[in-house]
Chains A and B, each alone.
Chain A
Amino acid sequence: MEFSRRETLAMGLGAAVLTVLPFRVNAAAEDMIAEFTGGADLSDSGVELTAPEIAENGNTVPISVSAPGATAIMVLATGNPTPGVATFNFGPGAASQSASTRIRLAGTQDVVAVAKLADGSFAKASAAVKVTIGGCGG
Protein backbone atom coordinates (compact mmCIF):
# COMPACT_ATOMS: atom_id res chain seq x y z
CA MET A 1 0.00 0.00 0.00
CA GLU A 2 1.42 3.33 -1.04
CA PHE A 3 0.68 6.70 0.47
CA SER A 4 0.61 9.93 -1.45
CA ARG A 5 2.34 12.97 -0.02
CA ARG A 6 -1.04 14.42 0.96
CA GLU A 7 -2.11 11.30 2.83
CA THR A 8 1.18 11.09 4.69
CA LEU A 9 0.84 14.68 5.82
CA ALA A 10 -2.74 14.09 6.95
CA MET A 11 -1.66 11.03 8.95
CA GLY A 12 1.10 12.99 10.62
CA LEU A 13 -1.38 15.67 11.55
CA GLY A 14 -3.80 13.08 12.98
CA ALA A 15 -1.06 11.55 15.10
CA ALA A 16 -0.11 14.98 16.43
CA VAL A 17 -3.74 15.70 17.39
CA LEU A 18 -4.00 12.33 19.15
CA THR A 19 -0.95 13.01 21.31
CA VAL A 20 -2.15 16.50 22.25
CA LEU A 21 -5.72 15.43 23.08
CA PRO A 22 -5.17 13.67 26.44
CA PHE A 23 -3.57 16.78 27.91
CA ARG A 24 -6.54 18.87 26.85
CA VAL A 25 -8.98 16.44 28.47
CA ASN A 26 -7.01 16.54 31.71
CA ALA A 27 -6.99 20.31 31.54
CA ALA A 28 -10.81 20.28 31.36
CA ALA A 29 -10.92 18.14 34.51
CA GLU A 30 -8.46 20.45 36.26
CA ASP A 31 -10.57 23.46 35.31
CA MET A 32 -13.60 21.81 36.90
CA ILE A 33 -11.65 21.07 40.09
CA ALA A 34 -10.44 24.68 40.21
CA GLU A 35 -14.00 25.91 39.76
CA PHE A 36 -15.23 23.64 42.56
CA THR A 37 -12.47 24.50 45.04
CA GLY A 38 -11.90 28.10 44.03
CA GLY A 39 -8.21 27.31 43.57
CA ALA A 40 -7.71 26.04 47.14
CA ASP A 41 -5.10 23.38 47.90
CA LEU A 42 -6.17 19.73 47.97
CA SER A 43 -5.16 17.44 50.80
CA ASP A 44 -4.85 13.70 50.26
CA SER A 45 -6.84 12.48 53.24
CA GLY A 46 -10.47 12.94 54.15
CA VAL A 47 -12.18 11.44 51.15
CA GLU A 48 -12.42 7.85 50.00
CA LEU A 49 -13.25 6.68 46.52
CA THR A 50 -14.02 3.03 45.87
CA ALA A 51 -13.93 1.83 42.28
CA PRO A 52 -13.12 -1.52 40.70
CA GLU A 53 -9.57 -2.01 39.39
CA ILE A 54 -10.90 -3.60 36.23
CA ALA A 55 -14.31 -2.87 34.77
CA GLU A 56 -15.38 -5.25 32.05
CA ASN A 57 -18.13 -2.97 30.84
CA GLY A 58 -17.54 0.77 30.80
CA ASN A 59 -21.28 1.40 30.52
CA THR A 60 -21.91 0.70 34.16
CA VAL A 61 -19.05 0.94 36.61
CA PRO A 62 -20.07 0.86 40.28
CA ILE A 63 -18.33 3.50 42.39
CA SER A 64 -18.82 4.79 45.89
CA VAL A 65 -17.54 7.90 47.61
CA SER A 66 -17.31 8.69 51.29
CA ALA A 67 -16.02 11.76 53.12
CA PRO A 68 -17.02 12.10 56.79
CA GLY A 69 -18.24 15.60 57.53
CA ALA A 70 -18.12 16.78 53.92
CA THR A 71 -20.78 19.07 52.52
CA ALA A 72 -20.22 18.14 48.89
CA ILE A 73 -18.32 15.59 46.84
CA MET A 74 -17.60 16.01 43.14
CA VAL A 75 -16.70 13.00 41.00
CA LEU A 76 -14.77 13.37 37.74
CA ALA A 77 -13.76 10.91 35.04
CA THR A 78 -10.59 12.42 33.60
CA GLY A 79 -10.66 10.34 30.40
CA ASN A 80 -14.27 10.92 29.35
CA PRO A 81 -15.24 13.34 26.56
CA THR A 82 -16.74 15.52 29.29
CA PRO A 83 -15.06 14.95 32.65
CA GLY A 84 -18.04 15.70 34.92
CA VAL A 85 -19.79 12.70 36.49
CA ALA A 86 -21.82 13.88 39.46
CA THR A 87 -21.79 16.22 42.43
CA PHE A 88 -23.29 14.99 45.68
CA ASN A 89 -24.51 17.71 48.05
CA PHE A 90 -25.32 16.41 51.51
CA GLY A 91 -28.08 18.01 53.55
CA PRO A 92 -28.71 17.95 57.31
CA GLY A 93 -30.76 14.76 56.94
CA ALA A 94 -27.87 12.66 55.65
CA ALA A 95 -26.65 10.06 58.14
CA SER A 96 -23.25 9.69 56.53
CA GLN A 97 -21.54 11.61 53.79
CA SER A 98 -21.34 8.66 51.47
CA ALA A 99 -23.10 7.56 48.32
CA SER A 100 -22.87 4.88 45.66
CA THR A 101 -23.83 5.03 42.03
CA ARG A 102 -22.99 3.60 38.63
CA ILE A 103 -21.09 5.56 36.03
CA ARG A 104 -19.95 5.39 32.40
CA LEU A 105 -16.27 5.37 31.51
CA ALA A 106 -15.06 5.85 27.94
CA GLY A 107 -11.84 3.92 28.53
CA THR A 108 -9.06 3.10 30.96
CA GLN A 109 -8.53 6.20 33.08
CA ASP A 110 -8.35 7.79 36.51
CA VAL A 111 -11.54 8.58 38.39
CA VAL A 112 -11.16 11.52 40.77
CA ALA A 113 -13.26 12.53 43.78
CA VAL A 114 -12.93 15.98 45.33
CA ALA A 115 -14.67 16.65 48.64
CA LYS A 116 -15.47 19.93 50.33
CA LEU A 117 -14.90 19.18 54.00
CA ALA A 118 -16.72 20.67 56.98
CA ASP A 119 -13.89 23.12 57.79
CA GLY A 120 -13.96 24.51 54.25
CA SER A 121 -10.83 22.71 53.07
CA PHE A 122 -10.76 20.32 50.15
CA ALA A 123 -9.55 16.76 49.77
CA LYS A 124 -8.93 14.66 46.71
CA ALA A 125 -8.79 10.94 46.01
CA SER A 126 -8.31 9.11 42.77
CA ALA A 127 -8.60 5.55 41.52
CA ALA A 128 -7.33 4.04 38.30
CA VAL A 129 -9.90 1.93 36.49
CA LYS A 130 -9.08 -0.38 33.59
CA VAL A 131 -11.96 -0.54 31.15
CA THR A 132 -12.24 -3.43 28.70
CA ILE A 133 -15.19 -2.09 26.67
CA GLY A 134 -15.72 1.66 26.57
CA GLY A 135 -19.04 3.14 27.58
CA CYS A 136 -19.58 6.10 25.28
CA GLY A 137 -20.90 4.37 22.20
CA GLY A 138 -17.57 4.49 20.33
Chain B
Amino acid sequence: MASGVKPRVKVPKKAAAGEAVTIKTLISHKMESGQRKDKEGNAIPRSIINRFTCEFNGTMVIDVTMEPAISTNPYMEFEATVPEAGDFKFTWYDDDGSVYDTSKSIKMA
Protein backbone atom coordinates (compact mmCIF):
# COMPACT_ATOMS: atom_id res chain seq x y z
CA MET B 1 0.00 0.00 0.00
CA ALA B 2 1.30 3.40 -0.91
CA SER B 3 1.86 5.48 2.18
CA GLY B 4 -0.16 8.49 3.26
CA VAL B 5 -3.22 7.80 1.15
CA LYS B 6 -6.13 9.81 2.48
CA PRO B 7 -9.42 10.22 0.63
CA ARG B 8 -11.35 13.45 1.03
CA VAL B 9 -14.88 13.85 -0.24
CA LYS B 10 -17.23 16.82 -0.28
CA VAL B 11 -20.93 16.01 -0.45
CA PRO B 12 -23.79 18.34 0.63
CA LYS B 13 -25.40 17.27 3.93
CA LYS B 14 -28.94 17.64 2.65
CA ALA B 15 -30.70 17.57 -0.71
CA ALA B 16 -34.25 17.62 -2.03
CA ALA B 17 -35.53 14.38 -3.59
CA GLY B 18 -34.39 14.14 -7.19
CA GLU B 19 -31.97 17.03 -6.83
CA ALA B 20 -28.63 17.03 -8.62
CA VAL B 21 -25.72 17.54 -6.26
CA THR B 22 -22.12 18.30 -7.11
CA ILE B 23 -19.58 15.97 -5.55
CA LYS B 24 -15.90 16.75 -5.23
CA THR B 25 -13.34 14.13 -4.33
CA LEU B 26 -9.61 14.25 -3.75
CA ILE B 27 -7.32 11.47 -2.68
CA SER B 28 -3.73 12.06 -1.67
CA HIS B 29 -1.61 9.75 -3.77
CA LYS B 30 1.69 10.36 -5.52
CA MET B 31 0.50 8.82 -8.82
CA GLU B 32 3.98 7.79 -9.98
CA SER B 33 3.68 7.79 -13.77
CA GLY B 34 6.48 5.33 -14.56
CA GLN B 35 8.08 7.95 -16.84
CA ARG B 36 10.27 9.62 -14.24
CA LYS B 37 13.85 8.62 -13.43
CA ASP B 38 15.68 8.79 -10.12
CA LYS B 39 19.14 10.30 -9.54
CA GLU B 40 20.91 7.20 -10.86
CA GLY B 41 18.86 7.27 -14.03
CA ASN B 42 16.74 4.24 -13.20
CA ALA B 43 13.09 4.45 -14.10
CA ILE B 44 10.82 4.76 -11.07
CA PRO B 45 8.17 2.05 -11.41
CA ARG B 46 4.60 3.08 -12.11
CA SER B 47 2.30 3.23 -9.09
CA ILE B 48 -1.05 4.88 -9.68
CA ILE B 49 -4.70 4.59 -8.80
CA ASN B 50 -6.19 3.07 -11.93
CA ARG B 51 -9.91 3.16 -11.18
CA PHE B 52 -12.37 5.27 -9.22
CA THR B 53 -16.03 4.52 -8.69
CA CYS B 54 -18.90 6.25 -6.95
CA GLU B 55 -22.17 4.53 -6.05
CA PHE B 56 -25.32 5.82 -4.40
CA ASN B 57 -27.33 3.14 -2.56
CA GLY B 58 -25.88 0.56 -4.93
CA THR B 59 -26.60 2.55 -8.12
CA MET B 60 -23.52 3.36 -10.16
CA VAL B 61 -22.94 7.10 -10.55
CA ILE B 62 -19.56 7.22 -12.23
CA ASP B 63 -16.80 4.75 -12.99
CA VAL B 64 -13.53 6.31 -14.10
CA THR B 65 -10.59 4.46 -15.61
CA MET B 66 -7.46 6.42 -14.80
CA GLU B 67 -4.14 6.41 -16.65
CA PRO B 68 -0.74 7.75 -15.56
CA ALA B 69 -1.64 11.16 -17.07
CA ILE B 70 -3.88 11.93 -14.10
CA SER B 71 -2.17 14.41 -11.76
CA THR B 72 -0.76 13.72 -8.33
CA ASN B 73 -3.54 13.72 -5.71
CA PRO B 74 -6.31 12.84 -8.21
CA TYR B 75 -9.24 15.22 -8.11
CA MET B 76 -12.68 14.39 -9.50
CA GLU B 77 -15.74 16.55 -9.69
CA PHE B 78 -19.09 15.32 -11.00
CA GLU B 79 -22.85 15.50 -10.45
CA ALA B 80 -25.17 12.88 -9.01
CA THR B 81 -28.94 12.61 -8.67
CA VAL B 82 -30.24 12.00 -5.15
CA PRO B 83 -33.64 10.25 -5.33
CA GLU B 84 -33.78 9.43 -1.61
CA ALA B 85 -31.74 9.64 1.57
CA GLY B 86 -28.82 7.27 1.59
CA ASP B 87 -25.11 6.76 1.30
CA PHE B 88 -22.58 7.60 -1.34
CA LYS B 89 -19.82 5.04 -1.52
CA PHE B 90 -16.50 6.04 -3.05
CA THR B 91 -13.87 3.48 -3.99
CA TRP B 92 -10.35 3.90 -5.38
CA TYR B 93 -8.37 0.96 -6.77
CA ASP B 94 -4.57 1.12 -6.55
CA ASP B 95 -2.13 -0.57 -8.97
CA ASP B 96 -0.73 -2.60 -6.06
CA GLY B 97 -4.12 -4.12 -5.34
CA SER B 98 -5.04 -1.91 -2.40
CA VAL B 99 -8.56 -0.55 -2.30
CA TYR B 100 -9.35 2.69 -0.52
CA ASP B 101 -12.95 3.52 0.25
CA THR B 102 -15.00 6.04 2.10
CA SER B 103 -18.70 6.84 2.31
CA LYS B 104 -20.85 9.88 2.99
CA SER B 105 -24.52 9.90 3.88
CA ILE B 106 -26.98 12.48 2.64
CA LYS B 107 -30.31 13.44 4.22
CA MET B 108 -33.51 14.71 2.69
CA ALA B 109 -34.01 18.45 3.06
For residue B81, CB closer than 8 A to chain A, the reply is yes
Chain A's interface: helix, strand, loop or mixed, by majority? strand
For residue A87, CB closer than 8 A to chain B, the reply is yes
For residue A37, CB closer than 8 A to chain B, the reply is no
**Residue pair A91, B59 in contact (C-beta under 8 Å):** yes
**A-B contacts besides A90-B62, A91-B62, A91-B63, 8 pairs, CB < 8 Å:** A87-B64, A89-B62, A91-B61, A96-B79, A99-B78, A101-B64, A136-B33, A136-B36
**Residue pair A101, B68 in contact (C-beta under 8 Å):** no
**A22, B65: Cα distance in complex, Å:** 25
Write the nearest CB–CB distance from A88 to chain B, whole angstroms: 5
For residue A86, CB closer than 8 A to chain B, the reply is yes
For residue A45, CB closer than 8 A to chain B, the reply is no
**A121, B61: Cα distance in complex, Å:** 22
Interface size class on chain A is 20 to 34
How many chain B residues touch the partner (CB < 8 A)? 31
**A80, B35: Cα distance in complex, Å:** 10
**Residue pair B65, A104 in contact (C-beta under 8 Å):** no
**Residue pair B70, A104 in contact (C-beta under 8 Å):** yes
**Residue pair B69, A96 in contact (C-beta under 8 Å):** no
**Considering the complex, which residues of chain A in the window 73-128 have a beta carbon less than 8 Å from any beta carbon of chain B?**
77, 80-82, 84-96, 98-105
For B60, list chain A residues within 8 Å (CB).
Answer: 91-93
For A103, list chain B residues within 8 Å (CB).
Answer: 69-71
Write the nearest CB–CB distance from B108 to chain A, whole angstroms: 16
**Residue pair A99, B76 in contact (C-beta under 8 Å):** yes
